[in-house]
Amino acid sequence: MPTELSLKVAAARFLTELADVRLASTHTIAAYRRDISRFIDFCGDIPLADITRVQVQDWLVASHALGLAASTLARRLSAVSSLLDASVQSGLCNTNVAAGVHPPRQSKRLPRTLPPEQTAALMQTTERTSDVRDLALLAVLYGCGLRVSEVVGLNLDDMDLQSLELRVFGKGRKERIVPVPEAAGRLLHNYLSERGQAPDNETAVFLNKYHTRLSVRSVQRMLKDRALETGTDTSVTPHRLRHSFATHLLAGGVDLRAIQELLGHASLATTERYTHLDIARLTEVYDDAHPRAKRVLPS
């Protein structure tokens, strides 16, 4: 039989356990204390065993009405659920009534697109000693819509500049062939003529000043520095360039399926999220491009 314990006392015991037994950080403990206190303010200091699922749901609804973000509501639910779960394990109550409550779905944030004039500004020549390399890298990053990991992972034998093609290994080492714009091909050729022979037979296309493979972090830092020098939006990231590539292609009338192939997405739905299409427009584009995919509905 569970001990009759008030919500405040149970919360105090739980927070003490977090600190002394689970060795949680002070930040974590402060966040749990704050969220649980708000739940107590909502319910009152009732017996722990009297908490119901409806009370937890009503609290989340009331919190949502205050305009709180989905991530905040999910965190609040997690705090109360953790308290009840620990109380069940300690024999202070029979069930964790919050376990069956689902937090609101958090919307996936996508990076903003970079306007075409901003990408053009980013490609201006600068006085940077690595300018030839950086221009070639940016031309591939944006012009081919690659992930930054795919760009730094490129090896010399992945390139066919005569055919203007790159062999790219995406997520899960899935291989795809992507076309290289002519301008990007020229910049790559300029860079390779200056790249020279790296020590220890380094096969990476893009090298740092030590003649070893360029890192993802270095590319991110280069983008920020270049944006400052060229007067471009300094919030630019490699992923934002990839997102811009997809959006600009779609605006130019390129088929959504073709964009999916270029980006290396396994699902068309992923490409749809990149391009901000609503589901009705997505279906329309898909059906227009693939008439045989249209379903014949029963009359």
Angle in degrees, 0-180, between the axes of helices 256-263 and 279-289, rounded to the nearest 10:
100
> Which of 171, 209, 276, 294 is the catalytic position?
171
Both tokens assigned to 25: 């950080």
> Which of 133, 147, 243, 248 is the catalytic position?
147
Phi, psi of 76 (to 5 degrees): -65, -40
**CA 163, 150, 186: angle at the middle one, nearest 5?**
35
Alpha-carbon distances, residue 180 vs 7, 80, 122, 161 (angstroms) = 63, 53, 19, 8
Task: Specify the residue for token string 């950080």.
Answer: 25
Indicate the SS3 state at residue 298: coil
> Which of 195, 240, 242, 248 is the catalytic position?
242
- Tell me, yes or no, if 75 is annotated catalytic: no
Phi, psi of 284 (to 5 degrees): -65, -45
Nearest to 264 by CA among 198, 168, 194: 168
- Tell me, yes or no, if 265 is annotated catalytic: yes
- Tell me, yes or no, if 239 is annotated catalytic: yes
- Tell me, yes or no, if 171 is annotated catalytic: yes
> Which of 239, 257, 273, 286 is the catalytic position?
239
Which residues belong to the active site?
Answer: 147, 171, 239, 242, 265, 274
